[in-house]
């Protein structure tokens, strides 16, 4: 019996520790499939009057049915499907937290994700909107939290990446032109090569006016915008009249890779690390270190710039995400709408595994795009693990990489964590050694209690009156 008490107490003590260290699944999502505006920046700097997608095509633009940069109807459905997928991935009693930027496409994405979660019985609290996590330099509301890095440094970083990352093959441009025709700007093949320019521009994007002292110029800006329109319209099931038979599915993915290439060149740098990643990284590391009585699911709803910036801070410079064209060795790092960096920390362990999950609407094939329907409701695909480190080493890695980017380390010091939101009723951050000490103490108490009980039972038995002994003699028959 004493052994049973010892085992029970030890198990309860250790279980108490494990119950306060349940699994955490954390995702940093890019928002929904969205509409794209016609504006194209600096496709040909010598002819700024042609910076409009309608000048690079002879067919009408897609009929989105929503304002620029808003989620399409198909995009909302895809994010809702992702919510259902997430609900099946985690414990049904998991604590769910949704954190979103305040732009319309992120708000809509958070609502669609919540609908998908709730349809599978997983209840989420109301999303919290914290734009300062997703942009410290120009949040949707509130003052900037950090200072912009020097333009010369950022432009030099982009120039170095432009020189080291190979461009997509020219065949992808030919396929675009066969499907879209030739517009007033002339053939796509005649546009200037990509170049990092630091001569200062001012431009409007949607309803947001911004200025910059450097930019990526050249035909890449037309190719990526036209590739985006082709893919977003098809995946959203939005009408887009094309010439002839139109492109194949493979050619569509080839056109889209210009968007991934452009971001890999211009958005993995000090500016993105400071603006789109550092406060976000600090917040997610805080949440990965929290412990509570139930499993946790945390979903951030942001932008591709957030994923690019986090990749820089994590020291990740490549991933393969088929069917999306990823470059010769994955250096384009595709971040299609609805993709996410996933951070998984198993129960009772410090190890954090980082991977990319993403939707695939159709496998790459030579089937005509017009004959291929995008698949909705499919589970997200996943890359191989990009990182797998104990949480303290992951923190150290982020800190070390922040030192490489001008402004990022200073931005860290300004991070403002919110009020603690760990589940009440469970001791947090209890070291495992403390749990073992508790188990030993519990076992000792059990031993003492068992000894006392045994002594009391012995005394009670000794003081009980005894009946006189009776000797029974049996006679044996005579021989």
State how far Cα 62 lies from the chain centre. 29
Q: For the segment 402-441, what is each residue's pLDDT rounded down to a tens digit?
A: 888 877 778 877 888 876 554 443 433 344 444 444 445 5
Q: Give SS3 for 395.
A: helix
Q: Which two tokens stand for residue 138?
A: 């120009």
Tell which residue, 374, 37, 69, has the closest CA to residue 226: 37
Cα distance between residue 112 and residue 77, in whole Å: 7
Q: For the segment 308-325, what is each residue's pLDDT rounded down to a tens digit?
A: 999 999 999 999 999 999
Torsion angle, alpha carbons of 78, 83, 89, 94, to 10: 170
Can you point out the beta strands (E) in 373-476?
Answer: 381-382, 387-390
Confidence of residue 362 (pLDDT cuts 50, 70, 90): very high
Predicted confidence (pLDDT) at residue 159 exceeds the cutoff of 70: yes
Give the mean pLDDT of 214-224.
Answer: 92
Report percent pLDDT > 90 for the chain. Answer: 60
Q: Which two tokens stand for residue 153?
A: 């440094």
Q: For the segment 449-458, what is each residue's pLDDT rounded down to a tens digit?
A: 555 555 556 5
Residue 75 to residues 259, 332, 386, Cα–Cα distance (Å): 18, 23, 27
Q: Please give the helix or strand (H or E) that residue 114 lies within, else none.
A: helix 104-119
Cα distance between residue 362 and residue 324, in whole Å: 10
| pLDDT number for residue 411 | 84
| pLDDT number for residue 479 | 33
Q: Which of 7-16, 66-75, 206-215 has the lowest mean pLDDT?
A: 7-16
Residues 6+ apart with CB under 8 A from 38: 52, 53, 54, 61
Give the mean pLDDT of 170-175.
Answer: 92
Tell which residue, 372, 417, 447, 441, has the closest CA to residue 16: 441
| pLDDT number for residue 41 | 86
Predicted confidence (pLDDT) at residue 15 exceeds the cutoff of 50: no
The span from the first CA to the last CA of the chain, in angstroms, equals: 53
| pLDDT number for residue 100 | 97
Predicted confidence (pLDDT) at residue 203 exceeds the cutoff of 80: no
Q: Are 301 and 110 in contact (CB under 8 A)?
A: yes
| pLDDT number for residue 374 | 94
Predicted confidence (pLDDT) at residue 210 exceeds the cutoff of 80: no
Q: Which of 34-48, 143-157, 199-213, 412-426 has the lowest mean pLDDT?
A: 199-213
| pLDDT number for residue 419 | 65
| pLDDT number for residue 200 | 47
| pLDDT number for residue 205 | 40
Confidence of residue 360 (pLDDT cuts 50, 70, 90): very high
Q: Are 51 and 59 in contact (CB under 8 A)?
A: no
Tell which residue, 58, 117, 72, has the closest CA to residue 297: 117
| pLDDT number for residue 17 | 43
Q: pLDDT higher for 213 or 248?
A: 248
Q: Which of 123-127, 165-169, 309-313, 461-465 has the lowest mean pLDDT?
A: 461-465
Confidence of residue 223 (pLDDT cuts 50, 70, 90): very high
Confidence of residue 211 (pLDDT cuts 50, 70, 90): very low
Mean per-residue pLDDT over the chain, rounded: 83
Q: For the segment 241-268, what is each residue's pLDDT rounded down to a tens digit?
A: 998 889 999 999 999 999 999 999 999 9
Q: Are 54 and 62 in contact (CB under 8 A)?
A: no
Q: pLDDT higher for 195 or 292?
A: 195
| pLDDT number for residue 405 | 81
| pLDDT number for residue 133 | 95
Q: Which two tokens stand for residue 255?
A: 């056109």
For 345, phi then psi, to 5°, come to -125, 110
| pLDDT number for residue 300 | 98
């Amino acid at each position: 019996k004493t052994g049973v008490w010892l085992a029970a107490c030890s198990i309860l003590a250790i279980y108490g520790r494990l119950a306060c260290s349940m699994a955490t699944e954390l995702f940093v999502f890019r928002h929904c499939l969205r509409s794209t505006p016609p504006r194209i920046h600096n496709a040909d700097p010598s002819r700024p009057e042609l910076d409009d997608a309608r000048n690079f095509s002879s067919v009408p633009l897609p009929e989105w049915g929503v304002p620029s940069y808003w989620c399409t109807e198909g995009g909302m459905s895809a994010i809702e499907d992702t919510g259902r997928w997430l609900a099946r991935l985690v414990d049904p009693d998991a604590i769910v937290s949704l954190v979103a930027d305040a732009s319309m496409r992120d708000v809509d994405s958070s609502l669609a994700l919540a609908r998908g979660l709730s349809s599978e019985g997983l209840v989420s609290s109301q999303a919290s909107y914290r734009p300062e996590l997703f942009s410290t330099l120009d949040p949707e509301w509130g003052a900037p939290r950090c200072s912009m890095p020097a333009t010369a440094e950022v432009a030099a970083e982009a120039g170095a990446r432009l020189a080291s990352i190979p461009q997509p093959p020219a065949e992808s441009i030919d396929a675009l032109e066969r499907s879209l025709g030739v517009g007033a700007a002339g053939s796509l093949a005649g546009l200037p090569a990509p170049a990092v320019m630091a001569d200062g521009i001012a431009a409007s994007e949607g309803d947001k006016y911004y200025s910059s002292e450097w930019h990526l110029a050249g035909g890449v800006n037309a190719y990526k915008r036209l590739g985006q329109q082709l893919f977003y319209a098809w995946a959203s099931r939005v009408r887009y009249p094309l010439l002839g038979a139109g492109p194949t599915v493979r050619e569509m993915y080839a056109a889209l890779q210009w968007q991934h290439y452009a971001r890999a060149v211009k958005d993995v740098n000090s500016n993105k690390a400071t603006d789109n990643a550092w406060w976000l990284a600090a917040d997610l590391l805080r949440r990965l270190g929290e412990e509570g009585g139930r499993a946790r699911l945390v979903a951030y709803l942001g932008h591709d710039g957030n994923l690019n910036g986090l990749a820089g801070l994590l020291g990740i410079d490549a991933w393969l995400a088929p069917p999306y064209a990823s470059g010769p060795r994955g250096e384009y790092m595709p971040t299609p709408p609805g993709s996410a960096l996933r951070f998984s920390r198993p129960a009772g362990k410090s190890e954090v595994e980082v991977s990319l999950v993403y939707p695939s609407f159709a496998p790459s094939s030579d089937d005509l795009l017009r004959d291929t329907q995008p698949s909705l409701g499919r589970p997200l695909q996943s890359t191989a693990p990009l990182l797998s480190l104990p949480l303290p080493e992951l923190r150290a890695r982020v800190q070390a990489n922040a030192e490489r980017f001008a402004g990022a380390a200073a931005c860290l010091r300004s991070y403002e964590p919110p009020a603690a939101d760990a589940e009440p009723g469970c001791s947090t951050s209890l070291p495992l050694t403390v749990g073992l000490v508790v188990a030993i103490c519990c076992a000792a108490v059990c031993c003492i209690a068992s000894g006392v009980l045994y002594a009391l039972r012995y005394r009670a038995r000794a003081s009980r009156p005894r009946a006189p002994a009776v000797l029974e003699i049996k006679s044996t028959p005579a021989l």
